[in-house]
């Protein structure tokens, strides 16, 4: 192995079958959410209960219980998503929300999940008041962008934080040096801007694919003579395969793979590629060698992203104008 900690791959699951597929591939951790009876389209997972590719994303208790048992039997951790920011409503409505939130948390506790992802400091304080004995992980919705923020989140009780999509390697390395705090980064895709400040909502239960609103074309009004149709929000970065070695050396603990909206076969292929790439890096290959080995059988899929030259965690023409 080269320097750095072992990077664990964390993958999304939306059913027992998808959980088994991810575990068979070799993930170290899975993440999921449960059905909340009082919510229709949206869920406490930060997504809808379904989308255009999958009729189910949130999971019922019986299936959740079986997934956790399967994961633990294979030494795989289960992270429970409770990262819908919602503790800012005053008055009587807040009491109803707190009751609903606690009922949702109880579903995960009864299934014996390992950690809980939270998107609001109020949620953390509320659960600590209730003496909930689980590890708490800070969601990307907290918009963590620097080491001082990491230190603060550690002080108030978070064990891990998912940092924003657009961090550079040096910034991530500094965050990883905070003792007692695990750092999680996104392996692929993710939002174009600060996730905790984005209100271009999608994947909240719509039955058709609206795409990424931040990649859409907008009319731009300006005093200068410019083309009105502009992709002004499109700063989306695609993949981190070329930088797995640098993330490994920096000490990143968890590489999160997104894709609950994707077809299961595509999701499995993406996760396997990252697992293979990390394995090759930890065997001593350079990042480029590891990437080439990892994508050799699925090159047609990855080449289209490589051609865009929007690599995560290093400076490029996209990052220059917003960092």
- Please report the pLDDT score of residue 323 as a whole number: 43
> Is 1 a member of any domain?
no
* Token pair listed for 20: 């088994």
- Please report the pLDDT score of residue 295 as a whole number: 96
> Is 3 a member of any domain?
no
| Per-residue pLDDT tens digits for 215-225 | 777 777 777 76
- If one counts the domains in the chain, the total is 1
Query: Higher-confidence residue: 192 or 82?
Result: 82
59 φ, ψ (degrees, to nearest 5): -115, 140
Q: What is the CATH number of the domain that holds 160?
A: 3.20.20.70
* Chain CA centroid to CA 266, Å: 17
Q: What beta strand segments (E) does 127-225 contain?
A: 135-138, 160-162, 182-186, 218-219
Q: Tell me the mean pLDDT in the region 256-270.
A: 88
Q: Distance (Å, rounded) from C-alpha 89 to C-alpha 99?
A: 13
> How crowded is residue 1: how many other Cβ atoms within 10 Å of its Cβ?
10
Phi-psi group of 157: left, alpha or beta (phi > 0 → left; psi -120 to 50 → alpha; rest → beta): left
How confident is the prediction for the chain on average, in pLDDT?
85
DSSP letter (8 states) at residue 321: G
Residues 6+ apart with CB under 8 A from 148: none
Residues 6+ apart with CB under 8 A from 231: 215, 216, 217, 218
> Is 160 a member of any domain?
yes
Q: What is the pTM of this model?
A: 0.86
pLDDT band at 3 (very low <50, low <70, confident <90, very high): very low
What range defines the domain where residue 182 resides? 8-321
- Please report the pLDDT score of residue 45 as a whole number: 75
**Residue located via tokens 């070695």:** 245
> Is 2 a member of any domain?
no
Residues 6+ apart with CB under 8 A from 236: 189, 190, 191, 192, 212, 214, 215, 310, 318
pLDDT band at 201 (very low <50, low <70, confident <90, very high): low
């Amino acid at each position: 192995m080269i320097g750095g900690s072992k990077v664990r791959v964390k993958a999304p699951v939306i059913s027992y079958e998808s959980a088994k597929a991810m575990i068979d591939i070799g993930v170290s951790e899975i993440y999921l959410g449960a059905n909340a009876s009082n919510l229709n389209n949206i869920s406490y997972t930060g997504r809808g209960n379904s989308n255009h590719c999958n009729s189910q994303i949130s999971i019922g208790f019986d299936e959740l219980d079986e997934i956790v048992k399967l994961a633990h039997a294979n030494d795989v951790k289960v992270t429970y998503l409770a990262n819908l920011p919602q503790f800012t409503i005053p008055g009587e409505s807040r009491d109803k929300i707190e009751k609903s939130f606690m009922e949702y948390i109880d579903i995960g506790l009864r299934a014996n999940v390992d950690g809980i992802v939270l998107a609001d400091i109020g949620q953390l304080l509320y659960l600590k008041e209730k003496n909930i004995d689980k590890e708490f992980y800070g969601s990307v919705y907290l918009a963590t962008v620097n080491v001082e923020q990491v230190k603060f989140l550690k002080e108030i009780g978070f064990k891990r934080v998912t940092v924003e999509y657009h961090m550079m390697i040096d910034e991530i390395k500094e965050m990883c040096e905070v003792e007692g705090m695990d750092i999680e980064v996104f392996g692929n895709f993710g939002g174009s801007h600060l996730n905790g400040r984005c209100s271009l909502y999608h994947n909240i239960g719509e039955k058709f694919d609206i795409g990424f609103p931040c990649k859409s074309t907008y009319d731009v009004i300006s005093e200068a003579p410019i083309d009105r149709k502009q992709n002004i929000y499109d700063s989306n970065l695609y993949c981190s395969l070329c930088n797995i070695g640098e993330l490994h050396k920096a000490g990143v603990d968890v590489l999160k793979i997104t894709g609950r909206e994707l077809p299961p076969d595509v999701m499995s292929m993406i996760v396997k590629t990252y697992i293979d790439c990390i394995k090759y890096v930890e065997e001593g290959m350079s990042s480029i060698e590891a990437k080439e080995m990892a994508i050799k059988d699925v090159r047609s899929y990855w080449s289209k992203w490589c051609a865009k030259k929007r690599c995560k965690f290093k400076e490029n023409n996209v990052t220059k104008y917003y960092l």
